[in-house]
Structure 1
């Protein structure tokens, strides 16, 4: 295993390639319109950008198996953010400055190029080091590593080798690089900042001081920092590791938060007006927003973090979420799935579903439930005759998502297979999007979102809606395919 863990795709044998082709043909659990790997392991989305009149996306990829091995960057492109073309590994870790993997990073689009920044992971025995590296995506979809790599060698004094995931933003005439980091002194997480006039010559500026009234987060690592502007607000997103649960929040092994506020790079501060979890479900991590977005700011994330899932028996593991448009409304970050406006999905057999169960023809479907103002108690249930069941329950303003009967990975979940959230608003609508083995649930047009993996047996599923008062609901069930 150790020898294969650090294999790169260019060393694949004829037997490897035969195995890859066999895995691609397996359809069990594989989503139709969520990105999944052709074979092997997928994790963080990277280099997400709009460039050369197309959307481009990369993701962390270990081609040979379903554990975390040598990370490559798989390249995808799209015209609609829903149907994607694969272009294979475009950053393969072959150089000494990335000897143990090309880790995550983001893109900057300028001068007819997309500049892809990533972390070169290096291990020397038990010691870890990190280099920040640059590659260029050109108009021919070719990616070339920069001759001056690494553009930042090693880590600043006072930090462990856990410094990674560069995000580049431009303010005025300067570029700023945000990196997730861990301090040596107390092994706690923070975000550090470098500054550059030209994307090549970087100067360490220091720690980003996240200024919050009241308590904030203690974590041993901040991963995947992201900074963007949405509707006049600066939005800071990052993935803290080792956060202590707070009420019903932070019940996952790894969590994601967003902060609304204002950044000041001269003072290295981010003044927070509001912060919270970004997703209330189980399977959401390492989100990245699109560089050079032509319209609304857009986000995508890794749906995963489990070490083992049933799909590994098929030769692949993990997928990405749908892309989500971001807005700020009433000082809250709102996420809406781009699928709503897509012309790429074929919609079949749309009909009303009200106070009755239906035998599902497919597990790729959209269920919309609107006008809930007269009904404060509702349960949506996805179930099988063998006893598998997943339920979404609204009880007044309490939302509960329960997948306990899909017990495929309970060992990874300290807080069990139920997630709950008490809203500070009346719930008016639910959009429930299912795609074979992943469900995304959008409450009140994306005010709150729950992401959930589940792995159904090969048996018929029934979808039911029940209410306490029997109020007439405005529902629409639609089957979806590419």
Structure 2
């Protein structure tokens, strides 16, 4: 049940009619393609995660939401809470763009928690014909889960000289007694991407400090825009994450329309320099963008991202599109950023474990497409994991330790109505032997973690209604153990 695109693109949820509500309820109740443990919108379009934080004894997460259709329209902030990062309670739109300074959408931003208060920073998007303006704004998340916009908005009006109206996605960092705001931006002179920095001593009054210099000559410097900057400390090192747009493919890197990179190193606030010791793409799959890390995390660095940068997805016919990734724990090993799937509570997994002793091949008829698969193949060299159906559609992941290559191939799982513009194969070179895999499949998304998250592939896929099978094969006989657990129906 789709919602046609002739609706006013800048209509807010406050203007929903009784007829809209009836459509919304029908969409919400349809479970086709709906993941069980990944966040999807009740109806309409989901994109960037926002305001991810731990506050008042629970996890809070917002996401960009357009309620009326599966295209990019007026962006709201949908609010969710959780006690375990997998079961989420929905609280509706908590930042609805009804004010002049956000007349064309409440764009992305992040939370900052301090002294018992949670501040939600975001960009107020304004359009005047073809011209774009950007205001930086703040709202307060209360302990009653209500959100109140600041009377001081916008706290930064418009964009600074030397930049275009593409300035957005505030991230707040505190160093000593000084607060810093990172913003994704585009330089006016050469229309290239940049990160700019403001500073403040009270979170309300901000002064432009300058441009962050990323001290390395890298391919991402050719981007026309940097979006969603994030900065955090992981295992004693600074990690800068951002989403550059408009990079040409470089060998196996930057194969998607939009990509994400991370830089490990050290930031110097005095000189506004980030000295890089290592950088790479954050995810090697098809559908991963605009990640955000949790503020005020009580346990460990945690990241979640938007899965769904593609277009023409089959779920559109059911009135919704896109999801978020599962939460990921971050760590640094051998100067590389690892992403490991956050543990799923055992109560959410089938208590009957399927233990597989595989010699060369094993085929399993799947009871459900929501499952967790762990494979230890340290005794083998090469492995292939395939999800396939009765109609010869297949979703293939291979590990080739001889050629030192990981490959994800969805050429035979055509989830678009037209051929996918950016190809159907993604690969990654191995720097050391791969020994294990964790594959988290959840109806219409697959996340693959090799070797405790040294390399990660995220992909949407939309299987047929026929029987689904899992096949695991090896080149040579070896005693391999794998564990398959189904997600309990919820």
- Which bin holds the TM-score, normalised by the shorter protein? over 0.9
Instruction: Indicate conservation of the 8 Å contact 1:410/1:416, yes or no.
Output: no
Indicate the residue corresponding to 1:378 in structure 2.
Answer: 383
Partner of 1:404, secondary structure, is strand
Paired with 2:138 and 2:221, the residues of 1 have a C-alpha distance of: 31
Instruction: Provide the residue aligned with 1:402 in structure 2.
Output: 409
Matched-pair contact (CA < 8 Å) for 2:102–2:123? yes
Per the TM alignment, residue 292 of structure 1 is displaced from its structure 2 partner at its CA by: 0.3
Say if 1:251 and 1:414, in contact at 8 Å, map to a contact too: no
Alignment of 1:49-198 (within 5 A): 49-198=53-202
Q: Distance in 2 between matches of 1:214 and 1:320?
A: 28
1:473 has 2:480 as partner? yes
Confirm or deny: 8 A CA contact 1:261 1:271 kept in the other structure.
yes
Distance in 2 of aligned mates of 1:412 and 1:130: 35
2:244 maps to 1:240:
yes
State the Cα distance separating 1:356 from its structure 2 match: 1.5
Unmatched runs of 5 consecutive residues or more in structure 2: none
Could you tell me the TM-score, scaled by structure 1's length?
0.98
1:450-461 mapped onto 2 (5 Å cutoff): 450-461=457-468
What is the alpha-carbon distance in structure 2 between the residues aligned to residue 271 and residue 344 of structure 1?
44
Contact 2:192 2:221 in 1 (8 A): no
State which of 328, 333, 338 in structure 1 corresponds to 2:337: 333
Q: Does the 8 A contact of 2:136 with 2:155 survive in 1?
A: yes
Name the residue aligned to 1:361: 367
- With over 3 angstroms needed to count, the CA separation of the structure-2 counterparts of 1:441 and 1:467, relative to structure 1, is same
Structure 1 residues 177, 411: CA separation in 2 closer, same or farther (over 3 Å shift)?
farther
Contact map agreement 1:226 1:289 (CA 8 A) in 2: yes
Q: Using the alignment, how far apart are the partners of 1:186 and 1:35 within structure 2?
A: 38
**How far off is 1:398 after superposition?**
0.8
Distance in 2 of aligned mates of 1:461 and 1:153? 53
Q: Secondary structure at 2:20's aligned position in 1?
A: helix
Task: Give the whole-Å Cα distance in 1 for the aligned partners of 2:244 and 2:428.
Answer: 20
RMSD, aligned α-carbons: 1.2
Residues 15 and 234 of structure 1, relative CA distance in 2, 3 Å threshold: same
Q: How many residues align?
A: 480
For the residues of structure 2 that align with 1:101 and 1:85, how far apart are their CA atoms? 24
Give me the whole-angstrom Cα distance separating, in 1, the residues matched to 2:469 and 2:301.
36
Correspondence for 2:40: 36
Kept in 1, the 8 Å contact 2:86–2:344? The answer is no
Superposed, 1:230-379 pairs within 5 Å as: 230-338=234-342, 340-353=343-356, 354=358, 355-370=361-376, 372-379=377-384
**Distance in 1, Cα, partners of 2:6 & 2:190:** 31
> How many Å separate the matches in 1 of 2:6 and 2:363?
50
Task: Decide whether the 8 Å contact of 1:410 with 1:417 is kept in 2.
Answer: no
Q: What's the TM-score, normalizing by structure 2?
A: 0.96
Q: Distance in 1 between matches of 2:417 and 2:12?
A: 32
Residues 127 and 33 (structure 1), Cα distance of their counterparts in 2 relative to 1, 3 Å cut: same
- In the alignment, the residues of structure 1 paired with residue 128 and residue 481 of structure 2 have an alpha-carbon distance, to the nearest angstrom, of 60
Rounded Cα–Cα distance in structure 2 between residues aligned with 1:108 and 1:324: 20
Q: Does 1:440 align with 2:443?
A: no
